[in-house]
Amino acid sequence: MHNSSVPLFWRLKDSKYRMVGTKCANCGTFYFPPRHFCPKCRRDGKIEEFKFTGKGTIVSHTVIRTAPSGFEKSTPYVVGIVKLDEGPQISGQIVGGIREVEIGKKVKPVFRKMYEDGDGGLIHYGFKFELDDSE
């Protein structure tokens, strides 16, 4: 069972629901999740909001067969690290056929239910990835 903070939920809504991160206009580095300052440029950094496409390439993955509490009904499922086309690497669930997931394959974002806070609690949605057959 999850216990969510509504203020935290609203602070993170842009990154969770619109895949919004940041970019340093000074050095061109992209950040997801968003950062408030650029660790490369320090005080010279100029951070601005950036909307990621969510498209990327699988760099690593694993099949989860014994899930943590609250996700037992979802097994088996794939979790992977995806290098976004813009550069950052993020982790996420890869949906679709488990046997088709391979390192180097292209993925695209899909908006799906993640979990809910018990019976009658908040339902959390977010991005997962699916294989992008259009490539």
| Annotated domain spans of the chain | 54-135
pLDDT 10s digits, 23-75: 999 999 999 989 999 999 988 889 999 999 999 999 999 999 998 887 777 88
Mean pLDDT of 96-108: 94
Measure the CA–CA gap between 82 and 92, rounded to whole angstroms. 7
pTM of the model: 0.78
Helix/strand/coil (H/E/C) assignment for every residue in 7-51: HHHHHCHHHHHCCEEEEECCCCCEECCCCCCECCCECCCCEEEEE
pLDDT 10s digits, 37-50: 999 998 888 999 99
CATH topology of domain 54-135: OB fold (Dihydrolipoamide Acetyltransferase, E2P) (2.40.50)
